[in-house]
A = this chain, B = another copy of it.
């Protein structure tokens, strides 16, 4: 079990979703958005898993970085398509990571 003493807070965007339609176009868009996010200033990482619900979390250095990524033109288009075609429901939570520890 490790824990950092000089921990610097960062930010997480928790995206929880229920899909109504999971087609090839969605899969391609998801890959494209994951790749594009990695190139954005302040990007720190990404984790995703899906069973009945999907949980995707992106990590960012600052709130500004999150805001800029949300407003990115290509990402805006993906968000629009997501609402029209793929998602029955989603919830976005913007969080400040205040503490962390890990095992293994």
Interface, chain A (partner B; CB < 8 A)? 12, 14, 16, 18, 47-55, 57, 83, 87-104
Give chain A's interface secondary structure class.
Answer: strand
Q: Smallest distance from the beta carbon of A69 to chain B beta carbons, Å?
A: 15
A50 contacts B51, C-beta separation under 8 Å: yes
In the complex, the 7 A-B pairs of residues with the closest C-beta atoms, listed nearest first: A89-B104, A95-B95, A49-B49, A91-B102, A94-B99, A93-B100, A55-B55
Docked complex Cα distance between A103 and B103 (Å):
35
Name the B residues within 8 Å of A48 (CB-CB).
51, 55
B96 contacts A95, C-beta separation under 8 Å: yes
Q: Smallest distance from the beta carbon of A97 to chain B beta carbons, Å?
A: 5
Chosen A-B contacts, 21 in total, with CB atoms closer than 8 Å, are: A12-B14, A14-B14, A14-B57, A14-B97, A16-B47, A48-B55, A49-B49, A49-B52, A55-B57, A83-B104, A88-B104, A89-B102, A90-B103, A91-B101, A91-B102, A91-B103, A93-B99, A94-B97, A95-B98, A96-B96, A96-B98
